[in-house]
């Protein structure tokens, strides 16, 4: 008999919108979310084969931009960051992926301060009775140390 998996929320990860420094002088820096429609966008493809929209939340309202006509699609966030650094287009990715490129200046963040939302990072494991001591220690460590450091 299989046990139902037990999820454990670890931390949220935050999505941010990034562009290569070289793109904005040619197309202009977007100042509003709607301006992104006039730019080359990169899209993330989910497990079901659909592109994930670029999304922002404003209070209770959520704004989503369709990315089905993106210039390139990716199933890997790091590859998407590499494409943004190369100047192929503007990408919305987890902030964690862009941290190095932002610090070395190869990417800039667009709409700084705008909330692009967050998704929870979860650890899923078999029921408590089947978890080895080492696995339980790892889960506890991740929950304690991964607060909001992914933003």
pLDDT over 90 (residue 28): no
Question: How large is the average pLDDT for residues 85-95?
Answer: 90
Q: How many domains does the chain have?
A: 1
Question: What pLDDT does residue 7 have?
Answer: 66
pTM summary value: 0.73
Asked whether residue 136 is domain-assigned, the answer is no
Asked whether residue 51 is domain-assigned, the answer is yes
Q: What are phi and psi of 53, to 5 degrees?
A: -70, 155
Domain span at residue 29 reads 15-117
Asked whether residue 10 is domain-assigned, the answer is no
Asked whether residue 140 is domain-assigned, the answer is no
Asked whether residue 146 is domain-assigned, the answer is no
The CATH number for 81's domain is 3.40.190.290
Query: 14 Cβ partners below 8 Å, 6+ apart?
Result: 94, 95, 116, 117, 118, 150, 151
Greater confidence, 62 or 104? 104
Asked whether residue 138 is domain-assigned, the answer is no
Question: What pLDDT does residue 1 have?
Answer: 43
């Amino acid at each position: 008999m299989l046990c139902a998996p037990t999820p454990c929320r670890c931390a949220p990860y935050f999505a941010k919108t990034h562009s290569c420094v070289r793109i904005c002088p040619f197309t202009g820096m977007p100042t509003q979310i709607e301006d992104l429609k006039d730019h080359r966008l990169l899209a993330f493809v989910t497990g079901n084969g659909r592109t994930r929209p670029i999304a922002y939340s404003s209070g209770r309202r959520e704004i989503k931009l369709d990315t089905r006509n993106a210039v390139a699609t990716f199933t890997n966030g790091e590859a998407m960051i590499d494409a943004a650094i190369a100047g192929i287009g503007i990408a919305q990715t987890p902030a964690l992926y862009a941290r190095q490129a932002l610090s070395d200046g190869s990417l800039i963040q667009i709409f700084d301060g705008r909330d692009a939302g967050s998704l929870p990072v979860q650890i899923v494991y078999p029921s408590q009775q089947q978890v080895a001591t080492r696995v339980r220690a790892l889960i506890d460590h991740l929950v304690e140390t991964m607060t909001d450091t992914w933003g």
